[in-house]
Each structure stands twice: as structure tokens, then as C-alpha cells.
Structure 1
Amino acid sequence: MPRIVVLPHEALCPEGEVLDAVSGETVCDVMLANGIDIEHACEKSCACTTCHVIVREGFPSLDEADELEEDMLDKAWGLEPESRLSCQAVVGDEDLVVEVPRYTINMVSERH
């Protein structure tokens, strides 16, 4: 069973977390199911960038991003070569280490 190591994030998981995942689940769904309230303003439809994560380890085990995800990622704050939208990043057979960027671009968030 693959694991997702979520690096510490001041607001979402200050201590960091190690989550058990099932191959085929998205990184976003695994985080949400384990109490990490990552933003997903478009309800995981690949229409925003609020669930942007940087995959620090295990990136090659993910399927390649499709054109729509790549277009959305171009709008993400803090974009890096290993950036993915967590709602589109499907867990494979390898462990992942992910970092949630400090900021997100969400003009309609009710949490701010």
C-alpha cells in the first residue's frame, strides 16, 4: 500500500502527516479523507489551481498531466517542474512526498 507523506504546512497540518493511500485514488481525495482540508474550489474538476501540490518524491510514478491540467498549472502560485493539481494526480504503486505551497490563488475563498 503506497503512502503519501505530506510535509508540514502551517495551516493544514503543522506537524506533517503520513497517509495510507490506495492506488487509483487522487492525492486530493486521500488528503481530504484523512482530515487535511486542502482547498479544492472547483470541487476537483480541474478548473482551478487551489489544490496545487509539489511532488517532492515519487513524481515519476504519477501518470503524466493532461493538457487541461498543464494549462491550469500555468496559473498556479509557486509553480515548479514537479507541480501537480492534487485532484488530478492519481496515486500509483510508489510512495509520494508532497508539499502544499504556502499560498493559493483563490479569489472566492470564504475562509479568508
Structure 2
Amino acid sequence: MLKIIIENLNHKEIISSESNRKVIELIHENYIDWMHACGKKGRCTTCKMIIEEGMENLSPLTDREEIFRENERLKLNERLTCQAELKSGTLRIRVAEQNKFPHMEYSG
């Protein structure tokens, strides 16, 4: 069983029995609005997540993420939801401040 907890969305929990799924797919399948300006192609950083816990449960960095990290557009505790696959366990994340939607209510 896999679990994603989005801390600043009132600790919203997503449960899945399917591993090796991109994080953004699991989020969207659970009817949670999450920004992705480039259409989930890894060409921007609008879908980034801040990882509070569970980095070890994700797939390795993709080439696209490596480029963004080298250009200092992704910090060490950030990944792109359109690139990272959840392999196992629990992932605790936050929506980055600059990627919050104005029509959604976020918690602290």
C-alpha cells in the first residue's frame, strides 16, 4: 500500500495499491487540483512538491530534474510530481507557495 499525505491541504491522504505511478497521476486521480503548466512533460517546475518525508520511496531523479537541480530551480528536498514515481511506502509533501492555486484553501 502506498500513501501520499499533502500536509498543507489539511493533511489530505491518498491511498493506492499501485506502485511505480507518477505522483501527479495519483494526485489528479483523487480529484485534487495540482498545477502543471507544461502538461506534465517535465519542462517547467510548476508541479514541484516539497518533500517533508519519504524521499527514499521515490524513483531516482530524471534527466529533466537533474537539469533543474543544476540550474538551482529544484532544491534538494523538491521533486517534480510529473517525473517522480512513488515506489513504496509513505510520502509526506507540501505544495510550494509559488505553486498554490488562488481558488484552493491551504492549511498551515
TM-score interval for Structure 1 and Structure 2 normalised by the shorter chain: 0.7 to 0.9
Gapped runs of 5+ residues in structure 1?
A: 105-110
* Structure 2 match to 1:90: 85
Residue in 1 that maps onto 2:50:
54
Indicate which of 30, 34, 43 corresponds to 1:34.
Answer: 30
**TM-score between both structures, scaled by the size of structure 2:** 0.80
CA drift of 1:67 comes to 2.5
Q: C-alpha distance in 1, partners of 2:42/2:23?
A: 13
Identify the residue that residue 66 of structure 1 maps to in structure 2.
62
Counterpart of 1:17 in structure 2 is 12
- Identify the structure with the greater strand proportion: 2
State the number of aligned residues: 98
**1:11-68: CA deviations, max 9, x gaps?**
xx3x230001221111111111112111111111111111000111110121211222
| CA distance in structure 1 between the aligned counterparts of 2:25 and 2:59, rounded to whole angstroms | 16
Cα pair distance change 1:35/1:75, threshold 3 Å: farther
In 1, the alpha carbon distance for the partners of 2:98 and 2:15 equals 25
Q: Is the 8 A contact 2:4 2:91 kept in 1?
A: yes
| Alignment-mate amino acid for residue 41 of structure 1 | A
Query: Is the Cα contact below 8 Å between 1:55 and 1:99 reproduced in 2?
Result: yes
Question: What TM-score, normalized to structure 1?
Answer: 0.78
Runs of 5+ unmatched residues, structure 2: 104-108
- Equivalent residues of 2:62, 2:83 under 8 A apart: no
**Higher helix fraction: Structure 1 or Structure 2?**
2
Q: Percent identity?
A: 30
